Structure 1
Amino acid sequence: MMIVPPPHAIGAMLLTFAMFYGFVSGRARVEIISLLTVTAIALGLYMFPLPGQAPTDGLKLAFEGFGHYALVTICALMVLGRGLVTTGALQPVSRLLTRVWRYNQQVGLIITLLLAFAMSMMVNDTPVLVLMIPIMAAIAANGGLPASRTLIPINSAVLIGGMSTTIGTSTNLLVVSIAGDMGMPPIGVFYFTPIVLAAAVIALPFIWLVMPRLLPDNSVAAGHEPRRFSALLRPGENSAVHSLSRAELEARLPAGIDLFGTVGHDGRLLVSATPAALEETMRVLDATAAPAWLMERLNLGYSQSGEDLNVVELAVARDSGLMGKGVQNANLAELYNIAILGVHRAQRPWLGVLSAEATVDNCFDEGDIILAVGTSANIRQMALAENVLILEGAKEMPRSAKAPLALAIMAAAIVPASIGLAPIAISALGGAIAMLVTGCVRVDRVGRALSAQVILLVAASIAIGRVVLESGAATWLSELLAIGLQHLPPAGVLAAVMLFVTLLTNFASNTTAAAVGTPIAFSLGQQLGIPVEPLVLAVLFGCNLCYATPVAYQTNMLIMSAGDYHFSDYTRTGFPLVVLMIVTLSTLLVVRYGLY
């Protein structure tokens, strides 16, 4: 018979649920939710200490995540990955892919999947996908498969590759570090790589041959409507707009444009349109989508230099300098002489429908697409400085002489840890310092390499994991799971644990799922008499099976607008892959540890 959990355990579970709900609802930024979680733990344990502990012990528990070696390692790896990108060390990959795709599309896709898989074993998933998105956009524009049929498969390959080493994702490091704190022997960089490689042999054919067929062709050539942008049109002084009624105005608008209404007293029009329809509307109404003075300045520069103005689509990445800024305070006009014409917000149907005003005025978020105009040189400068992706053509990577040096530093950081000569925290930190000292990553740009969101999320996850463990919540939950799992064979137990964590990671945060699932795995192993290590690996693998929803992982959101995906596209392709991976990985764990 189950006993009632102690008060601190109830509080820990309620706080964990509140954290999950905060991430899923999207009503507040991840950073705010993480800080609120840490604050709640600190204040809660200060006012109501754990049995046998002083109030100050709760403060130490709440804030120790900010100095935890797992967080230091994650930050160091982010700097290492940034060094590979900024020096152009990965540029040969893009050139190789372009040549292969010209030869054969199916061969090009499998080579792309394998390269994405291999790179994500050593480099964090996000930089790998940031490299791939513009490459696939350029290949699609030159007659390759539509980006909508390649980005989700490539993202899946990246996620599986990241799962295969302890440094592939920050989640892996978090699980390994928590397990180490609880007494499990250290796990090397490639300790569980053979298991994932064997699973990949089963999963990659599905990703290569089946998944693209389950995805829509969202290209314009296939009849799919082009991406729509919200824009604020500014009629000129002599525009007929000022003398037209709304009905007369709508009658003059070209096809493919939606008029939401007027803004302000100067006749500005809030519209939603495709780029072509937006261009035609500006011509018909004698209006501009950017301030008139800015367009005059751009046109004057064109007439003096002869350099063409280009209209491009730019995708906002998670570590972009535009994150959290709006159209006004992004200040692109003054910094780079670039005008923003419109914004396409990443589809987030679980947040409800944004108002037309919100789509224009809200701060930029991950996956948003910006329609901008400027010279090619200025656009490239802005793309590099603000870390945005040029979707209309491959992003031009800097061809620095430091690229071989960046590769050498990365190898010097990874190899000692992989063969056990040094802890990954030490070697990664040394590599990050070497990247800065040698100039592979500029000191004034190191903030672009480090994600405040990841830092706060990991710190909060470490704290919530400690609270779940020390409050008795992990023991109580494991006893509850043990009642339902006690009659299952070990393979069933491992699959159930993996499924439990997979559900959490697909609808909340994978780092928080890792922090909660790892102590539960320890307690469950003791309850059922199963070795702890395979249960911990089941948690680690489950945290990486984040294919079924766009909110499950940051790279899922990054490709949503670039591929013009809907929520159902992730579910239709991700659910079968999740089932396939759970069955395969749980079977492989049983074989690896002899749990027959």
Structure 2
Amino acid sequence: MIAAPSFHAIAAIAVTIAMFVGFIRGRLSIEIVSLLTIAVIAVGLYFFPIEGTDPTDGIVLAFSGFGHYALITICALMIMGRGLVVTGALEPAARFLERVFKWNIQLGLLFSLLIAFVLSMGVNNTPVLVLLIPIFVTLAARGALPASKTLIPLNAASLIGGLATTIGTSTNILVVSIAVDLGMDRMGVFHFTPIVLVAGALALPYLWLVMPRMLKDNRTTEFQQQRKFYSRLRVGDESKLVGEKIADILPRLPEGITFHDKTDGTITAQERLLISGTHEALEEAMREIGGEVAPIWVIDKIRRKSRELGQDINVVEMTVTADSRLLNRTLPTSGVADLFGVAVLGIHRPDTVIGDKDKYSSGGDLRINEGDVLLVMGLIDDVQEFARSDSLLQLEGARELPRRSKALLAAIIMGISVGLASLGIFPIAIAALGGAILMFVTGCVKFDRVGKALSGQVIVLVAASIAIGRLIDESGAADWLGQLLSLAIAFDGPANIQLAITIAVIMLFMTVLTNFASNATAATVGTPIAFAISNQLGLPPEPLVLAVLFGCNLCYATPIAYQTNMLIMAEGSYNFQDYVRTGVPLVAIMVTTLTALLVLTYGM
């Protein structure tokens, strides 16, 4: 018999269940549920402190998550990921994957899952996800699969890959180290890799074909209904377009780019071709085939001024009002570039009919009407002066152009940080924080833009999960649950059946614990329990220790289970139910498969 749980252990379990129910029901936002959980822990431990502690110690425990290294690590990784995005450092990789996805979406996703899996076998899966997240967000913006349909499968693939070697995750190292201290022989790097490879191969069809269909397209309506702008593609004397046929360059262009006044034939120097497309499509087309959609001299002037002042170039959408002096003018006759130093890249008009000659000047340029939306590029002060002077209404959705001059520097900083963490020279927390600071110091990320990199939802969720984990550990709830587990599986029966049930129960217990506490807590509590059970039942300790190690890594079912789950939460616009809906079946697949493989490998 085991002793009854303490009052604090019962309270810890109750608070954990209440938080889980609050997340699942979804009536309150994740931020509110997280803050309420922290408040309940702080107030409860203040009035009913754990034995041997002071009331103020409970407050420290409740709010410890806000200063915890895990939260600092996640924020630093978000900042470095932001640096890769705003500098355009990942665009080459994104364009390569975009071509793969364009060739075949399903094969593109499969290729990406395999990359995440293989990389995570030798590199900590956290930096792997940090590298992949902005790439797939960029791909989603270019019309590939929505980020909400790819990030959870990618995260799961990286977690399974990290499970395959003793160095794949810090949890693996911790379990193996504790087992060695308890008397077990040290496992090699690939000691249990074949088992995980077989389990991963069986789980892959679920990640690839089923999981994306279970996830919704979380893009906003505004994102899905981007405006199409009409513009003039200027072909210079040195342009690589000269002499090419339009039919030959169309396959190289992003979807949505259309040529209007010239749809076939050969392109000649100094032509101004009427094209249309979204801003992102126009930008990608310019990068792919060369040329500009605004006078080259004003583009060069904006870039030169940006470098001199150290300011970002912005692209803003503006609506033409009834009082604007631009009405009935064309862009060449408006004098916008000379007066304000900004470039108008295109004009959006929902009811434009390209063949309607009344809407064009004799030179073939579109006349500006009330209600037109102009796509304007320039430094923010110049853009705002243009809006004030010419009676334009600035719309939401302004964005900064990538600072490509910093792209190589951002990639080097990320590479060094990932390398130092992967080789074990520095903990991931130190490497990530150092990388984030370098991103600020070198100007890859502007300090006043850091709010765009961080997610308040993720911050309070991490803080609440850390507080819950400490409460479960320090209240004795984890130890009591471990004793209950040991008692529950103490039975007589055939050796292989006893081994199978013991492995499955231990793995499920570790999975539940790691999804609500932490990997470290589960590993610390579970490894000694596995040894105790092996001694009590006369079973080999190694498969039971591996059941602990595997269970500690099956953290797919909640966002609080692992830091990469939280990293993808904001980018994929996920809610708690998304993790439960997709993660529970994956846990069932992995527990069943890994249990069977361990029994086949170690059965007596």
Q: TM-score interval w.r.t. the shorter chain?
A: 0.5 to 0.7
Deviations 1:301-349 (A, max 9, x none): 78656532378xxxxxxxxxxxxxxxxxxxxxxxxxxxxxxxxxxxxxx
Unaligned runs of 5+ in 1: 141-146, 167-171, 220-225, 230-292, 312-372, 382-387
Maintained 8 Å contact 1:50/1:471: yes
Q: Does 1:459 align with 2:463?
A: yes
Q: Does 1:308 align with 2:308?
A: no
Check 1:439–1:26 CA distance in 2 against 1; reply closer, same or farther (3 A cut).
same
Q: Does 1:528 align with 2:528?
A: no
Q: Does 1:583 align with 2:576?
A: no
Letter matched to residue 157 of structure 1: L
Alignment of 1:141-152 (within 5 A): 147=145, 152=149
Q: Give 2:265's aligned residue.
A: none
**What SS class does the counterpart of residue 405 from structure 2 fall into?**
coil
How far did residue 182 of structure 1 move? Answer: 9.8
Q: Give 2:152's aligned residue.
A: 155
How far did residue 215 of structure 1 move? Answer: 4.0
What is the rounded CA distance, in whole Å, between the counterparts of 1:471 and 1:130 in structure 2? 39
Q: Give 1:403's aligned residue.
A: 407
What is the rounded CA distance, in whole Å, between the counterparts of 2:598 and 2:119 in structure 1? 24
Check 1:525–1:3 CA distance in 2 against 1; reply closer, same or farther (3 A cut).
same
How far did residue 91 of structure 1 move? Answer: 1.0
Q: Give 2:269's aligned residue.
A: none
Alignment of 1:189-588 (within 5 A): 194=193, 199-208=199-208, 210-211=209-210, 215=213, 296=321, 307-309=346-348, 375-377=374-376, 398=402, 400-487=404-491, 489=498, 492-500=501-509, 510=515, 512=517, 517=522, 521=526, 524-525=529-530, 527-529=532-534, 534=546, 536-544=548-556, 555=568, 571=581, 577-586=586-595
Letter matched to residue 157 of structure 2: I
What is the rounded CA distance, in whole Å, between the counterparts of 1:31 and 1:100 in structure 2? 38
Unaligned runs of 5+ in 2: 164-168, 223-317, 332-345, 351-371, 381-395, 492-496, 535-540, 560-564
Q: Give 2:96's aligned residue.
A: 96
Letter matched to residue 77 of structure 2: L
Check 1:378–1:582 CA distance in 2 against 1; reply closer, same or farther (3 A cut).
farther
How far did residue 25 of structure 1 move? Answer: 2.4
**What SS class does the counterpart of residue 308 from structure 1 fall into?**
strand
What is the rounded CA distance, in whole Å, between the counterparts of 1:164 and 1:448 in structure 2? 30
Check 1:486–1:413 CA distance in 2 against 1; reply closer, same or farther (3 A cut).
farther
How far did residue 463 of structure 1 move? Answer: 2.1
Maintained 8 Å contact 1:417/1:423: yes
Check 1:40–1:207 CA distance in 2 against 1; reply closer, same or farther (3 A cut).
closer
How far did residue 81 of structure 1 move? Answer: 2.1
Check 1:40–1:309 CA distance in 2 against 1; reply closer, same or farther (3 A cut).
same
Check 1:418–1:74 CA distance in 2 against 1; reply closer, same or farther (3 A cut).
same
Letter matched to residue 160 of structure 1: A
What is the rounded CA distance, in whole Å, between the counterparts of 1:301 and 1:517 in structure 2? 66
Q: Give 1:73's aligned residue.
A: 73
What is the rounded CA distance, in whole Å, between the counterparts of 2:320 and 2:141 in structure 1? 28
What is the rounded CA distance, in whole Å, between the counterparts of 2:215 and 2:517 in structure 1? 35
Bigger shift: 82-91 or 581-590? 581-590
How far did residue 95 of structure 1 move? Answer: 1.0
What is the rounded CA distance, in whole Å, between the counterparts of 1:516 and 1:379 in structure 2? 52
TM-score normalized with structure 1 length: 0.57
Check 1:577–1:177 CA distance in 2 against 1; reply closer, same or farther (3 A cut).
closer
Maintained 8 Å contact 1:73/1:425: yes
Check 1:587–1:35 CA distance in 2 against 1; reply closer, same or farther (3 A cut).
same
Maintained 8 Å contact 2:469/2:518: no
TM-score normalized with structure 2 length: 0.56
Check 1:34–1:227 CA distance in 2 against 1; reply closer, same or farther (3 A cut).
closer
Letter matched to residue 309 of structure 1: H
Q: Does 1:52 align with 2:91?
A: no
What is the rounded CA distance, in whole Å, between the counterparts of 1:31 and 1:569 in structure 2? 16
What is the rounded CA distance, in whole Å, between the counterparts of 1:481 and 1:118 in structure 2? 34
Maintained 8 Å contact 1:78/1:124: no
Maintained 8 Å contact 2:175/2:523: yes
Deviations 1:101-152 (A, max 9, x none): 4445554343343345568835474874454255257456xxxxxx48x963
Maintained 8 Å contact 1:184/1:533: no
Alignment of 1:62-141 (within 5 A): 62-105=62-105, 107-115=107-115, 121-123=125-127, 125=129, 128-129=132-133, 131-133=135-137, 135-136=139-140, 138-139=142-143
**What SS class does the counterpart of residue 84 from structure 1 fall into?**
helix
Q: Give 2:278's aligned residue.
A: none
Q: Give 2:272's aligned residue.
A: none
What is the rounded CA distance, in whole Å, between the counterparts of 1:517 and 1:33 in structure 2? 24
Letter matched to residue 538 of structure 1: F
Q: Give 1:35's aligned residue.
A: 35
Q: Give 2:253's aligned residue.
A: none
Maintained 8 Å contact 2:12/2:477: yes
Maintained 8 Å contact 2:531/2:545: no
Check 1:124–1:444 CA distance in 2 against 1; reply closer, same or farther (3 A cut).
farther
Check 1:24–1:302 CA distance in 2 against 1; reply closer, same or farther (3 A cut).
farther
Maintained 8 Å contact 2:507/2:548: no
Letter matched to residue 420 of structure 1: G
How far did residue 16 of structure 1 move? Answer: 1.5
Check 1:2–1:160 CA distance in 2 against 1; reply closer, same or farther (3 A cut).
same
What is the rounded CA distance, in whole Å, between the counterparts of 2:502 and 2:134 in structure 1? 37
Check 1:502–1:86 CA distance in 2 against 1; reply closer, same or farther (3 A cut).
farther
How far did residue 374 of structure 1 move? Answer: 5.1
Q: Give 2:257's aligned residue.
A: none
Aligned-pair identity in percent equals: 38
How far did residue 155 of structure 1 move? Answer: 3.4
**What SS class does the counterpart of residue 401 from structure 1 fall into?**
helix
Check 1:302–1:2 CA distance in 2 against 1; reply closer, same or farther (3 A cut).
farther
Check 1:437–1:553 CA distance in 2 against 1; reply closer, same or farther (3 A cut).
closer
**RMSD after superposition:** 5.2
Number of residue pairs matched? 427
Check 1:161–1:297 CA distance in 2 against 1; reply closer, same or farther (3 A cut).
farther
Check 1:407–1:472 CA distance in 2 against 1; reply closer, same or farther (3 A cut).
same
Maintained 8 Å contact 2:119/2:161: no
What is the rounded CA distance, in whole Å, between the counterparts of 2:379 and 2:498 in structure 1? 57
How far did residue 579 of structure 1 move? Answer: 3.2
Check 1:524–1:152 CA distance in 2 against 1; reply closer, same or farther (3 A cut).
farther
Check 1:457–1:227 CA distance in 2 against 1; reply closer, same or farther (3 A cut).
closer
Deviations 1:214-254 (A, max 9, x none): 949999xxxxxx9989xxxxxxxxxxxxxxxxxxxxxxxxx
Maintained 8 Å contact 2:458/2:569: no
What is the rounded CA distance, in whole Å, between the counterparts of 1:397 and 1:449 in structure 2? 16
Maintained 8 Å contact 1:495/1:586: yes
Q: Give 1:252's aligned residue.
A: none
Check 1:454–1:422 CA distance in 2 against 1; reply closer, same or farther (3 A cut).
same
Check 1:472–1:126 CA distance in 2 against 1; reply closer, same or farther (3 A cut).
same
